[in-house]
Amino acid sequence: MSFRIHPVMNIIIMIFMTFQQNLIHWFRANQRPLPWRKHYEPYEVWVSEIMLQQTQMDTALPYFKRWMKAFPTIGALAKADSKKVLKLWEGLGYYSRARNIHESAKHLVQKNGGVFPQEYEKILSIKGIGRYTAGAIASIAFNEDRPIVDGNILRVLSRVYAISKPIDVEKNKELFWKLQERLIPRGGAREFNQALMELGALVCSKQDPACALCPVRGFCKAFKTKTPENYPVKSRKKEMVKVEAAALVLEKNKKYLIRLRPVGKIMGGLWEFPEWKLSRNRTLSPAQVRNKTARLAEKEFSFGFEAIRPVGTIKRNYTHHLETLHVFKAEKFEEKTGPKTGWVSRWISKKEFVEYPFSSAHAKIAAML
Protein backbone atom coordinates (compact mmCIF):
# COMPACT_ATOMS: atom_id res chain seq x y z
CA MET A 1 0.00 0.00 0.00
CA SER A 2 1.32 3.43 -0.90
CA PHE A 3 0.52 6.71 0.81
CA ARG A 4 0.14 10.09 -0.82
CA ILE A 5 1.13 13.27 0.97
CA HIS A 6 -1.51 15.99 0.84
CA PRO A 7 -0.50 18.85 -1.49
CA VAL A 8 -0.73 21.39 1.37
CA MET A 9 1.63 19.25 3.44
CA ASN A 10 3.99 19.10 0.48
CA ILE A 11 4.06 22.90 0.37
CA ILE A 12 4.72 23.14 4.11
CA ILE A 13 7.58 20.65 3.84
CA MET A 14 9.07 22.57 0.90
CA ILE A 15 8.87 25.86 2.84
CA PHE A 16 10.60 24.28 5.84
CA MET A 17 13.34 22.79 3.65
CA THR A 18 13.95 26.06 1.79
CA PHE A 19 14.14 27.98 5.07
CA GLN A 20 16.64 25.46 6.43
CA GLN A 21 18.74 25.38 3.28
CA ASN A 22 18.89 29.17 2.90
CA LEU A 23 19.96 29.59 6.50
CA ILE A 24 22.61 26.85 6.41
CA HIS A 25 24.07 28.06 3.10
CA TRP A 26 24.32 31.57 4.54
CA PHE A 27 26.02 30.23 7.67
CA ARG A 28 28.61 28.29 5.69
CA ALA A 29 29.56 31.45 3.82
CA ASN A 30 29.37 33.94 6.70
CA GLN A 31 30.14 32.17 9.98
CA ARG A 32 32.77 33.73 12.20
CA PRO A 33 36.01 31.70 12.53
CA LEU A 34 35.54 30.91 16.21
CA PRO A 35 38.24 28.69 17.76
CA TRP A 36 35.86 25.97 19.00
CA ARG A 37 34.48 25.61 15.48
CA LYS A 38 37.76 24.16 14.19
CA HIS A 39 37.22 20.68 15.61
CA TYR A 40 34.04 20.92 17.75
CA GLU A 41 35.90 19.28 20.61
CA PRO A 42 33.33 18.80 23.44
CA TYR A 43 35.51 20.35 26.14
CA GLU A 44 36.07 23.49 24.05
CA VAL A 45 32.36 23.77 23.22
CA TRP A 46 31.52 23.35 26.91
CA VAL A 47 33.92 26.11 28.01
CA SER A 48 32.74 28.45 25.26
CA GLU A 49 29.09 27.99 26.17
CA ILE A 50 29.74 28.61 29.87
CA MET A 51 31.73 31.76 29.09
CA LEU A 52 29.04 33.04 26.73
CA GLN A 53 26.18 32.57 29.19
CA GLN A 54 26.49 36.13 30.50
CA THR A 55 29.19 37.58 28.24
CA GLN A 56 29.42 39.14 24.79
CA MET A 57 31.39 37.25 22.15
CA ASP A 58 34.06 39.92 21.67
CA THR A 59 34.73 39.96 25.42
CA ALA A 60 34.76 36.17 25.81
CA LEU A 61 37.13 35.31 22.94
CA PRO A 62 40.44 36.43 24.50
CA TYR A 63 39.41 34.76 27.77
CA PHE A 64 38.69 31.51 25.92
CA LYS A 65 42.10 31.55 24.23
CA ARG A 66 43.96 32.20 27.49
CA TRP A 67 41.91 29.50 29.24
CA MET A 68 42.69 26.88 26.62
CA LYS A 69 46.38 27.74 26.72
CA ALA A 70 46.42 27.29 30.50
CA PHE A 71 43.99 24.34 30.68
CA PRO A 72 44.05 22.52 27.31
CA THR A 73 42.19 19.46 28.63
CA ILE A 74 39.63 18.53 31.27
CA GLY A 75 42.43 16.80 33.16
CA ALA A 76 44.59 19.93 33.18
CA LEU A 77 41.67 21.97 34.51
CA ALA A 78 40.92 19.41 37.20
CA LYS A 79 44.51 19.62 38.50
CA ALA A 80 44.56 23.43 38.55
CA ASP A 81 44.60 25.52 41.70
CA SER A 82 41.27 27.30 42.29
CA LYS A 83 43.05 30.66 42.69
CA LYS A 84 44.55 30.30 39.21
CA VAL A 85 41.17 29.32 37.74
CA LEU A 86 39.51 32.41 39.21
CA LYS A 87 42.43 34.63 38.16
CA LEU A 88 41.97 33.56 34.53
CA TRP A 89 38.24 34.29 34.88
CA GLU A 90 38.93 37.73 36.38
CA GLY A 91 36.76 40.36 34.68
CA LEU A 92 34.20 37.97 33.16
CA GLY A 93 31.86 38.22 36.13
CA TYR A 94 29.39 35.65 37.50
CA TYR A 95 32.26 33.75 39.06
CA SER A 96 30.12 30.78 40.09
CA ARG A 97 30.52 29.71 36.46
CA ALA A 98 34.27 29.32 36.92
CA ARG A 99 33.86 27.43 40.19
CA ASN A 100 31.24 25.13 38.66
CA ILE A 101 33.30 24.27 35.60
CA HIS A 102 36.35 23.62 37.80
CA GLU A 103 34.40 21.32 40.15
CA SER A 104 32.79 19.55 37.19
CA ALA A 105 36.19 18.90 35.60
CA LYS A 106 37.34 17.21 38.81
CA HIS A 107 34.17 15.13 38.85
CA LEU A 108 34.61 14.08 35.20
CA VAL A 109 38.18 12.98 35.89
CA GLN A 110 37.12 10.95 38.92
CA LYS A 111 33.95 9.41 37.46
CA ASN A 112 34.39 9.44 33.68
CA GLY A 113 38.12 9.22 33.02
CA GLY A 114 38.28 12.89 32.04
CA VAL A 115 35.98 12.31 29.06
CA PHE A 116 33.08 14.69 28.45
CA PRO A 117 29.81 12.70 28.21
CA GLN A 118 27.90 12.51 24.96
CA GLU A 119 24.46 11.61 26.34
CA TYR A 120 22.14 14.61 26.73
CA GLU A 121 20.87 13.62 30.19
CA LYS A 122 24.42 13.21 31.49
CA ILE A 123 25.39 16.59 30.06
CA LEU A 124 22.35 18.12 31.76
CA SER A 125 23.44 16.66 35.09
CA ILE A 126 26.75 18.57 35.08
CA LYS A 127 26.82 21.42 37.59
CA GLY A 128 26.13 24.80 36.04
CA ILE A 129 24.50 23.34 32.91
CA GLY A 130 20.82 23.93 32.21
CA ARG A 131 18.48 23.13 29.36
CA TYR A 132 19.95 25.63 26.92
CA THR A 133 23.61 24.84 27.56
CA ALA A 134 22.98 21.07 27.46
CA GLY A 135 21.18 21.44 24.14
CA ALA A 136 23.91 23.67 22.76
CA ILE A 137 26.69 21.24 23.69
CA ALA A 138 24.74 18.19 22.48
CA SER A 139 23.92 19.80 19.12
CA ILE A 140 27.17 21.66 18.46
CA ALA A 141 29.71 19.15 19.82
CA PHE A 142 27.82 15.94 18.92
CA ASN A 143 25.38 17.08 16.20
CA GLU A 144 22.45 15.70 18.19
CA ASP A 145 19.01 17.01 17.18
CA ARG A 146 18.40 19.09 20.30
CA PRO A 147 16.67 22.49 20.31
CA ILE A 148 18.24 25.58 21.87
CA VAL A 149 16.71 28.96 22.59
CA ASP A 150 18.87 31.94 23.54
CA GLY A 151 18.33 35.67 23.15
CA ASN A 152 19.36 35.68 19.49
CA ILE A 153 17.05 32.80 18.59
CA LEU A 154 14.15 34.36 20.51
CA ARG A 155 14.60 37.52 18.48
CA VAL A 156 14.88 35.77 15.11
CA LEU A 157 11.90 33.46 15.61
CA SER A 158 9.69 36.16 17.10
CA ARG A 159 10.28 38.26 13.98
CA VAL A 160 10.00 35.45 11.44
CA TYR A 161 6.63 34.36 12.90
CA ALA A 162 5.57 37.81 14.25
CA ILE A 163 4.96 36.29 17.69
CA SER A 164 3.24 38.84 19.92
CA LYS A 165 3.49 36.87 23.16
CA PRO A 166 5.97 38.52 25.58
CA ILE A 167 9.27 36.64 25.73
CA ASP A 168 9.90 37.66 29.35
CA VAL A 169 6.94 35.58 30.52
CA GLU A 170 8.40 32.17 31.30
CA LYS A 171 5.48 30.05 30.06
CA ASN A 172 5.68 31.70 26.63
CA LYS A 173 9.24 30.50 26.08
CA GLU A 174 8.03 26.94 25.67
CA LEU A 175 6.42 28.01 22.39
CA PHE A 176 9.87 28.96 21.05
CA TRP A 177 11.45 25.70 22.24
CA LYS A 178 8.81 23.63 20.40
CA LEU A 179 9.05 25.81 17.30
CA GLN A 180 12.83 25.61 17.16
CA GLU A 181 12.72 21.83 17.61
CA ARG A 182 10.38 21.51 14.61
CA LEU A 183 12.69 23.62 12.44
CA ILE A 184 15.86 21.55 12.97
CA PRO A 185 16.70 19.49 9.87
CA ARG A 186 17.28 15.90 10.97
CA GLY A 187 20.98 15.29 11.29
CA GLY A 188 21.82 18.96 10.78
CA ALA A 189 21.45 20.47 14.24
CA ARG A 190 25.09 21.55 14.51
CA GLU A 191 24.94 23.93 11.57
CA PHE A 192 21.30 24.93 11.89
CA ASN A 193 21.39 25.88 15.57
CA GLN A 194 24.58 27.88 15.12
CA ALA A 195 23.16 29.49 11.99
CA LEU A 196 20.10 30.77 13.88
CA MET A 197 22.29 32.22 16.63
CA GLU A 198 24.75 33.70 14.13
CA LEU A 199 21.90 35.31 12.20
CA GLY A 200 20.68 36.98 15.38
CA ALA A 201 24.18 38.16 16.26
CA LEU A 202 25.25 39.45 12.84
CA VAL A 203 22.10 40.37 10.90
CA CYS A 204 18.88 40.25 12.95
CA SER A 205 20.17 42.63 15.61
CA LYS A 206 18.13 44.37 18.31
CA GLN A 207 18.31 47.79 16.65
CA ASP A 208 18.52 48.44 12.92
CA PRO A 209 18.39 44.80 11.72
CA ALA A 210 20.06 44.34 8.32
CA CYS A 211 16.98 42.83 6.66
CA ALA A 212 18.42 43.31 3.15
CA LEU A 213 21.19 40.84 4.02
CA CYS A 214 18.93 38.27 5.67
CA PRO A 215 18.82 34.87 3.91
CA VAL A 216 15.34 34.10 5.29
CA ARG A 217 13.65 37.49 4.86
CA GLY A 218 11.26 35.93 2.35
CA PHE A 219 9.81 33.85 5.21
CA CYS A 220 9.75 36.70 7.76
CA LYS A 221 6.37 38.18 8.67
CA ALA A 222 7.98 41.13 10.47
CA PHE A 223 9.97 41.98 7.32
CA LYS A 224 6.87 41.76 5.13
CA THR A 225 4.98 44.15 7.43
CA LYS A 226 8.05 46.37 7.94
CA THR A 227 7.83 45.95 11.72
CA PRO A 228 10.98 44.06 12.82
CA GLU A 229 11.64 46.61 15.61
CA ASN A 230 8.31 45.62 17.19
CA TYR A 231 9.68 42.18 18.03
CA PRO A 232 10.43 40.52 20.34
CA VAL A 233 7.63 41.74 22.60
CA LYS A 234 8.32 42.29 26.30
CA SER A 235 5.68 42.72 28.98
CA ARG A 236 7.61 44.96 31.29
CA LYS A 237 10.69 47.13 31.47
CA LYS A 238 13.27 46.12 34.05
CA GLU A 239 13.71 48.68 36.79
CA MET A 240 17.31 49.56 37.52
CA VAL A 241 18.53 50.16 41.07
CA LYS A 242 21.12 52.90 41.50
CA VAL A 243 23.76 52.03 44.08
CA GLU A 244 26.61 54.04 45.56
CA ALA A 245 29.50 52.13 47.13
CA ALA A 246 33.00 52.85 48.36
CA ALA A 247 36.32 51.03 48.46
CA LEU A 248 39.24 52.03 50.63
CA VAL A 249 42.91 51.45 49.84
CA LEU A 250 45.02 50.93 52.94
CA GLU A 251 48.82 50.98 52.50
CA LYS A 252 51.38 49.99 55.13
CA ASN A 253 55.11 49.49 54.45
CA LYS A 254 54.42 49.39 50.69
CA LYS A 255 51.83 46.64 51.14
CA TYR A 256 48.07 46.84 50.64
CA LEU A 257 45.23 45.28 52.58
CA ILE A 258 42.97 42.93 50.64
CA ARG A 259 40.34 40.49 51.87
CA LEU A 260 38.76 37.31 50.54
CA ARG A 261 35.02 37.23 49.90
CA PRO A 262 33.55 34.02 51.35
CA VAL A 263 32.17 31.40 48.96
CA GLY A 264 28.39 31.67 49.04
CA LYS A 265 28.39 35.46 48.84
CA ILE A 266 28.30 37.45 45.61
CA MET A 267 31.72 37.12 43.94
CA GLY A 268 32.74 34.59 46.58
CA GLY A 269 36.31 33.35 46.29
CA LEU A 270 37.56 36.69 44.94
CA TRP A 271 39.82 39.17 46.68
CA GLU A 272 38.97 42.82 47.13
CA PHE A 273 40.08 46.03 48.73
CA PRO A 274 37.72 46.75 51.64
CA GLU A 275 34.37 47.82 50.22
CA TRP A 276 31.00 48.96 51.58
CA LYS A 277 27.59 49.72 50.10
CA LEU A 278 26.58 53.30 50.94
CA SER A 279 23.10 53.89 49.46
CA ARG A 280 20.37 52.56 47.15
CA ASN A 281 18.42 54.92 44.88
CA ARG A 282 19.67 57.92 46.83
CA THR A 283 22.31 60.35 45.60
CA LEU A 284 24.94 61.32 48.16
CA SER A 285 27.09 64.44 48.06
CA PRO A 286 30.88 63.97 47.81
CA ALA A 287 31.21 64.97 51.47
CA GLN A 288 28.55 62.44 52.50
CA VAL A 289 30.29 59.69 50.54
CA ARG A 290 33.66 60.46 52.11
CA ASN A 291 32.33 60.79 55.67
CA LYS A 292 30.23 57.62 55.48
CA THR A 293 33.18 55.66 54.06
CA ALA A 294 35.42 56.83 56.90
CA ARG A 295 32.80 55.90 59.54
CA LEU A 296 32.29 52.42 58.10
CA ALA A 297 36.05 51.84 57.88
CA GLU A 298 36.61 52.98 61.47
CA LYS A 299 33.80 50.71 62.65
CA GLU A 300 35.14 47.66 60.82
CA PHE A 301 38.84 48.06 61.46
CA SER A 302 38.97 50.11 64.64
CA PHE A 303 41.47 52.31 62.82
CA GLY A 304 41.88 56.00 63.48
CA PHE A 305 41.89 57.94 60.19
CA GLU A 306 43.37 61.40 59.90
CA ALA A 307 42.31 61.71 56.28
CA ILE A 308 41.11 59.77 53.26
CA ARG A 309 41.35 61.18 49.77
CA PRO A 310 39.42 60.25 46.60
CA VAL A 311 41.36 58.27 44.00
CA GLY A 312 38.66 57.84 41.36
CA THR A 313 35.28 56.31 40.56
CA ILE A 314 34.36 53.09 38.77
CA LYS A 315 31.04 52.31 37.10
CA ARG A 316 29.85 48.75 37.71
CA ASN A 317 26.60 47.36 36.29
CA TYR A 318 25.15 43.96 37.23
CA THR A 319 21.69 42.33 37.36
CA HIS A 320 19.51 45.45 37.28
CA HIS A 321 21.98 47.47 39.34
CA LEU A 322 23.83 50.59 38.22
CA GLU A 323 26.63 51.11 40.70
CA THR A 324 29.10 53.92 41.23
CA LEU A 325 32.10 52.71 43.22
CA HIS A 326 33.98 55.58 44.90
CA VAL A 327 37.63 54.69 45.53
CA PHE A 328 39.49 56.31 48.42
CA LYS A 329 42.97 55.97 49.83
CA ALA A 330 43.76 56.43 53.51
CA GLU A 331 46.49 59.03 53.85
CA LYS A 332 47.23 58.45 57.52
CA PHE A 333 45.74 55.90 59.86
CA GLU A 334 46.51 54.27 63.14
CA GLU A 335 45.97 50.49 63.24
CA LYS A 336 44.48 49.33 66.54
CA THR A 337 42.90 45.95 65.71
CA GLY A 338 42.39 43.86 62.61
CA PRO A 339 39.17 43.56 60.55
CA LYS A 340 36.02 42.52 62.42
CA THR A 341 34.33 40.73 59.52
CA GLY A 342 36.10 37.43 60.10
CA TRP A 343 37.04 37.34 56.42
CA VAL A 344 40.55 36.21 55.49
CA SER A 345 42.73 39.27 54.90
CA ARG A 346 46.31 39.83 53.75
CA TRP A 347 48.80 42.62 53.24
CA ILE A 348 50.36 42.18 49.79
CA SER A 349 52.73 44.13 47.55
CA LYS A 350 51.89 45.50 44.11
CA LYS A 351 53.92 42.70 42.51
CA GLU A 352 51.64 40.16 44.18
CA PHE A 353 48.47 41.64 42.66
CA VAL A 354 48.83 39.31 39.66
CA GLU A 355 48.56 36.27 41.93
CA TYR A 356 45.17 37.14 43.40
CA PRO A 357 41.87 36.99 41.50
CA PHE A 358 39.91 40.24 41.82
CA SER A 359 36.50 41.21 40.48
CA SER A 360 36.74 43.49 37.42
CA ALA A 361 36.12 46.61 39.52
CA HIS A 362 38.82 45.76 42.05
CA ALA A 363 41.22 44.76 39.28
CA LYS A 364 40.77 48.34 38.05
CA ILE A 365 41.63 49.61 41.53
CA ALA A 366 44.80 47.50 41.47
CA ALA A 367 45.61 49.01 38.08
CA MET A 368 45.11 52.50 39.54
CA LEU A 369 47.81 51.73 42.08
Model confidence over 95-107: pLDDT tens digits? 999 999 999 999 9
pLDDT of residue 16: 72
pLDDT of residue 311: 92
The pLDDT of 283-310, averaged and rounded, is 85
Residue 111, judged by CB atoms within 10 A of its CB (0-12, 13-18, 19+), counts as exposed
- Where exactly are the structural domains of the chain? 7-230, 241-368
> In which band, very low, low, confident or very high, does the pLDDT at 14 lie, cut at 50, 70 and 90?
low
pLDDT of residue 264: 78
Gap between the Cα atoms of 369 and 365, Å rounded: 7
Domains 7-230 and 241-368 are alike in CATH topology: no
Q: What is the pTM of this model?
A: 0.84
pLDDT at position 8 over 60: no
Model confidence over 188-243: pLDDT tens digits? 999 999 999 999 999 999 999 999 999 999 999 999 999 999 999 998 777 889 99
21 with 29: CB under 8 angstroms?
no
CATH numeric code, 241-368 = 3.90.79.10
Just list the catalytic residues: 49
Which helix (H) or strand (E) segment is 259 a member of?
strand 255-260
According to DSSP, the residues that pair with 330 across neighbouring strands are 308
Q: In 72-231, where does DSSP find H-type helix?
A: 74-79, 82-89, 96-112, 120-124, 131-142, 151-160, 170-183, 189-202, 221-224
For 7-230, which CATH superfamily applies? Hypothetical protein; domain 2 (1.10.340.30)
Gap between the Cα atoms of 88 and 85, Å rounded: 5
pLDDT of residue 11: 45
pLDDT at position 259 over 50: yes
> In which band, very low, low, confident or very high, does the pLDDT at 47 lie, cut at 50, 70 and 90?
very high
